[in-house]
Structure 1
Amino acid sequence: MIPVNVHTLAKHLVQKSKYLETAHDLLRDFTRHHRIQLSLELRKALDVVKRYLNEHSIEAKIYTFDPNVIKDSFITFGWELEKARIEIVSPEGTMSFSSDDTKLLAVAHSPSGIASGEITLMEKDQDLDDRIVIITENHRVNYLKAIERNASAVIFTRKTQDPGAFPYFGLFISKEILETKGIPAVSLPWAYSRRIIRSIKRGEKVNAIVEVKSRFVNEKVPALVAKVGDSNPNIMGFAHSCHPTPGAHDNGSGVAGLFLALLYLKDILMVHDIKGSFTAIFAPEYSGSLAYVIERQNDIRTMGVINLDMIGSTSIDDPIKVSHGWIRIPSYVEPSFYVAMRILESTPGSRLQRKGFKVTSYSSGSDHDIFNFYGVPSFHVFQGIDPYYHTSSDRLENVDMLLVRDIAIGTALLNVIVKEDFIKDATRMYYEHLVLTSIGSSVENIIAYKELIQENKIPREPSKEYSPQENITGNPLLDKPLTMGVILERYGPEKYNAISTRFERREISDMLFYVLGHMRSGFNVKDIGRLGRIDLGISEEDVLTLLEVLNVT
């Protein structure tokens, strides 16, 4: 076996760019599928990934889980689109679109139905009286209001950087409501919606026919799991596999990156004198990671989890961002990835030489939230929101395969770097750096961090193995993560809006996972405030406000 030199290995992998064409073929085949959560098409997309892995002698298995195990945290159910269409008649002329143009025309989870009539704007307290209402904000809540006010159908729209693209929307509300009271919902590009809104405001009549043909199906939550190597340390990777077609950057890029990482590590382990293993999970966002953690707890024995989500777009020049995990559960994996990125940033021929990378504060919105909530350290690697995010324009050409390659190489190198003699010192310096450069960085933050270590509230150094914490409080609000869709269903629009008006939407998602996850592990409000200043830039007062709205004690 050949001794390994990380710099030489990184240079070799970049120069060879092995498997890049294969990864592009995988991405092409994968993005053909309309990967709505718990749909038959999602399962077919995972079958594609499994086939590509098997062709490279990597064993992979698809697990399926009962969606009832996650119903207290995340609203998801099987849904299939058969067809959708809209025809609009205005003083400017007639236009029509169908799901043959794009599957994103139908809002995900829209029930079947056909409606015709005048289009109107969503205004306070009006009776919609069998009209079709166009909704530009707070879409889930306003969809429920449209049902209450007797609308016959809804058109969802929002401003996008590409105004001609169809935006992606999903209802993610109670299946029972959709089946018994739901009305058809379609999506329309801002370029057309803007013209309709202007016509209505001028007092002109705009009419439409909206039709959706869909069905709810009893599908399970799928998760494709593949592993390379069979000895410790084990590192895990995750890439969410859902989202409508094409969904190339979000998150075909992460799927392609995780696929490449498996192939690169397989080659490394065959040639070089190192031992280790890497487990990759491809599953729908939140529902898949949550079901896997709950149902396969005994399979999770890991140093940490890297989450690849939107890792390389041709349409933005942003650096790669490493959104760090929670400081209370440090990991050797995250600092090892930092080292890998530093090496690749200086490697000739790498895309990172031009793009660069940076470490950012914890931010929620993907599957690292689930692992952190259950006490397994996880961090998020992503580039950023591109102009085609969550639209029909997120096509193959939106993916920068060389940047995907670099992230895959960095991921494959984790098993190498984590064994280096310097990693303990590098880890200590990495976390001290996070505290020094954190949001709202101050002397108080540094003092708080040192106090928390001295008080044994957080460990001095990471563990070499983490497993999910069992349900440990008996409080259903704390023993499983809480998302805004469940808050809307469980508490109703009033509570949902109460939280929405207290915090920005991004902050809500961050805080729900962070605050409840820390309470679950026994932290008091003061300590959550001390940690939250470092990780999120939140205060003890923010923590108290959120808990007050949720009636959590």
Structure 2
Amino acid sequence: MFRKVLEDSKREVSGKNAKEYVSEIIKFHRIQVTEGYNKAASLCKKIFEENGIETEILEYDSDGKKMYLGFLSPEGWSIKKGILRIDDKEYANFEKESISVIQRSIPFKGEVDLIYAEKEEDFKKGYLVFTHDFKKGKDFARNYGCLGIVTDENRSKFDAPDSLQYLSFWGEKLFGFVISPREGEKLEKELKKGKKKTYVEIESSFFPSKMKIVSAKIEGEKDEEIILISHLCHPKPGGNDNASGVGLSLEIARVLKKFKKPKRGIRILLVPEVHGTAAFISENRNFLCGLNLDMVGENQFLCNSPLLIEKTPDATPFFGNYLLQEILEEVKKEVSNFQNTFKYPLFMSSVTPFSGGSDHWILSDPTVGVPTPMLIHWPDKFYHTSFDTIDKVDEKELKRVGVIATTYLYFIANMGKKEAEWLARLVTQRAKQRILESSDIDYTVEIEKKNLDSIKRMENIDVENLKKEIEDLSNFERKNIKVKEKKIKKGIIPKRKFIGPISLSKTLLEMPLNEKKKFTEKMEKYKDFKGTLELAVFWADGNRNIYEISKNVKNEIGKVNTDFLIWYFEFLEKHDLIDIER
């Protein structure tokens, strides 16, 4: 049903164009609410308009105080200079390497003593501290009156020991620098012999400002819209994260403009990640669905990074998950075997449950109700490092993802009754497969019926007969499975207080160190279950108790720890972020 759109997309989408856009975007240091970000936004607006696409830049107050959907807006930040010298050797220079300064550092100029801190008691008032652990280090530095920190923290230290990690302060009034793991290893040895005289010069400032969002529109026949979203922020270069998503969005928009006007409009948003989406959605929630492009250009063999479809959470059922999977299956038919009896891909890919961590987190929240899957490459050896450069961006991969995204967007935007009925059959086929593999048939049937209902947001078709097919199969399967009836225990009933995901940034920033240490220890103890928390919150609608929520989370991703969920909901209640009925 989408074959013609797929073939048109293959013909029109240019990975070369997209990579050229990426190469222009990475020239800017795109930290949220900064001049570099604003210049990149202006460039993107210009490119949209050159391709005949109606575009505007939306502005939202951003001053470190104003909240959007529970997210604290960042202050504007400017930096002109950032230098770290130890024993006359230059370890960091913002002008040479933007990531060498911890972003949002406060201004400072002068000579200070640098010491090494291996444990909490090593953090001393009035010193600059070298630490391997940025997250704990900044908290200890704030609490004990340290001037700032130097760190070699790096998730890629074994793959890229000479790279620098992108790190940022979010409200902590400190300054800091990033050095490579290789330099950090040498510096630790030197500092164990004694403190070092160090020269620091950071010329920076904070001020009330505006968050800017680039909003472009492909016009449709109806007054309905779907969203294509990519975050424009991140430090220079930020090639795959996320100049790739933005560059590809620009190319997709160019192609969509050439297609016949669809029934529904397509809104393309380039945002400061999460904060910009929260601000936009606080005023605009009347969208049918969306797609998030984040880290979509990886050279898979350099980055060791497969392409993923990340689905919407089960709490926000959506037909688009299955549509994306179907399109991916077609795109994977790249080459044939010797006798042309089978086709297969030359790239890695997978389909995963919801995980969050990008702008689809906000849109797919059931209280927002704009179901938005994501296309992403994960993991990536060079993620959030100075090595996320243009040579890691592959124009062939940009084309693959561009074809998938363009086909998905245009098919949904132009969907009529015939397409909706085909899609309903596809959802039913996938639903039956999921039921056959399910360990909880009742849960699966409930979700799959809602997946069918989600099509009716687009076209008001009758899906009752298809629901009956799902029920008939589930009844047959129940006869073949000995179901042990379990009485659901009574328990706390959490209920959300706000629209959108729960942000802990302000809460943790204001929390006393001892309490924050307990929070961190708990999260570390249950780190394998951290991904269950957002999914649990999505189900907290005031109708389900903690055991029902726990059961749903386990059905969705295969694991849960109910005691951990109870602790988390009680933590949220303590900080007035959720209500609990007992």
TM-score, structure 1 as length reference: 0.85
What residue number does 2:235 align with? Answer: 244
Larger radius of gyration: 2
Residue by residue over 1:372-406, the C-alpha shift from the partner in whole angstroms, topping out at 9 and shown as x without a partner, is 22222121211113222111111111111221122
Pairwise CA distance, 1:168: 0.6
Deviates more, 1:492-501 or 1:80-89: 492-501
What residue number does 1:487 align with? Answer: 507
What residue number does 2:560 align with? Answer: 538
Q: In the aligned structure 2, how far is the partner of 1:476 from the partner of 1:327?
A: 17
CA RMSD of aligned residues (A): 3.0
Q: Residue 336 in 1 paired to residue 323 in 2?
A: yes
Q: In the aligned structure 1, how far is the partner of 2:6 from the partner of 2:14?
A: 15
Q: In the aligned structure 2, how far is the partner of 1:416 from the partner of 1:168?
A: 35
What residue number does 1:44 align with? Answer: 39
Q: Residue 362 in 1 paired to residue 354 in 2?
A: yes
What residue number does 1:469 align with? Answer: none
Structure 1 counterpart of 2:380, one-letter code? D
SS in 2 for 1:293: helix
Pairwise CA distance, 1:220: 1.4
Q: Residue 301 in 1 paired to residue 309 in 2?
A: no
Deviates more, 1:383-392 or 1:483-492: 483-492
Q: In the aligned structure 1, how far is the partner of 2:388 from the partner of 2:135?
A: 23
Structure 1 counterpart of 2:148, one-letter code? A
Unpaired segments ≥5 residues, structure 2:
337-342, 459-492
Aligned length: 515
Contact 1:11–1:347 under 8 Å retained in 2? no
Q: In the aligned structure 2, how far is the partner of 1:436 from the partner of 1:317?
A: 33
Q: In the aligned structure 2, how far is the partner of 1:307 from the partner of 1:436?
A: 30
Contact 2:84–2:201 under 8 Å retained in 1? yes
Q: In the aligned structure 2, how far is the partner of 1:506 from the partner of 1:79?
A: 33
Pairwise CA distance, 1:416: 4.8
Q: What pairs with 1:394-409 in structure 2 (closer than 5 Å)?
A: 394-409=388-403
Pairwise CA distance, 1:365: 0.7
Q: In the aligned structure 2, how far is the partner of 1:309 from the partner of 1:338?
A: 17
Sort the Cα spacing of 1:481 and 1:493 in 2 relative to 1 into closer, same or farther, 3 A: farther
Pairwise CA distance, 1:506: 6.6
SS in 1 for 2:167: coil
Deviates more, 1:124-133 or 1:356-365: 124-133
Pairwise CA distance, 1:354: 1.0
Pairwise CA distance, 1:59: 1.0
Aligned-pair identity (%):
18
Q: In the aligned structure 1, how far is the partner of 2:564 from the partner of 2:435?
A: 20
Sort the Cα spacing of 1:96 and 1:450 in 2 relative to 1 into closer, same or farther, 3 A: closer
Sort the Cα spacing of 1:227 and 1:523 in 2 relative to 1 into closer, same or farther, 3 A: farther
SS in 2 for 1:382: strand
What residue number does 2:165 align with? Answer: 167
Q: Residue 549 in 1 paired to residue 541 in 2?
A: no
Structure 1 counterpart of 2:501, one-letter code? P
Which residue of the other structure, out of 27, 30, 35, is the alignment partner of 2:30?
35
Which residue of the other structure, out of 355, 375, 382, is the alignment partner of 2:376?
382
Q: What pairs with 1:128-207 in structure 2 (closer than 5 Å)?
A: 128-137=124-133, 139-159=134-154, 160=156, 161-173=159-171, 178=173, 183-201=174-192, 203-207=193-197
Q: Residue 497 in 1 paired to residue 517 in 2?
A: yes
Pairwise CA distance, 1:51: 0.7
Contact 1:85–1:98 under 8 Å retained in 2? yes
Q: What pairs with 1:49-448 in structure 2 (closer than 5 Å)?
A: 49-67=44-62, 68-70=66-68, 72-74=70-72, 76-89=74-87, 94-114=89-109, 115-126=111-122, 128-137=124-133, 139-159=134-154, 160=156, 161-173=159-171, 178=173, 183-201=174-192, 203-232=193-222, 234-269=225-260, 275-297=263-285, 300-302=286-288, 304-314=289-299, 315-347=302-334, 353-373=345-365, 374-418=368-412, 419=415, 420=419, 421-431=421-431, 433=433, 443=439, 445-448=440-443
Deviates more, 1:361-370 or 1:17-26: 17-26
SS in 2 for 1:502: helix
Deviates more, 1:421-430 or 1:502-511: 502-511
Q: In the aligned structure 1, how far is the partner of 2:69 from the partner of 2:370?
A: 21
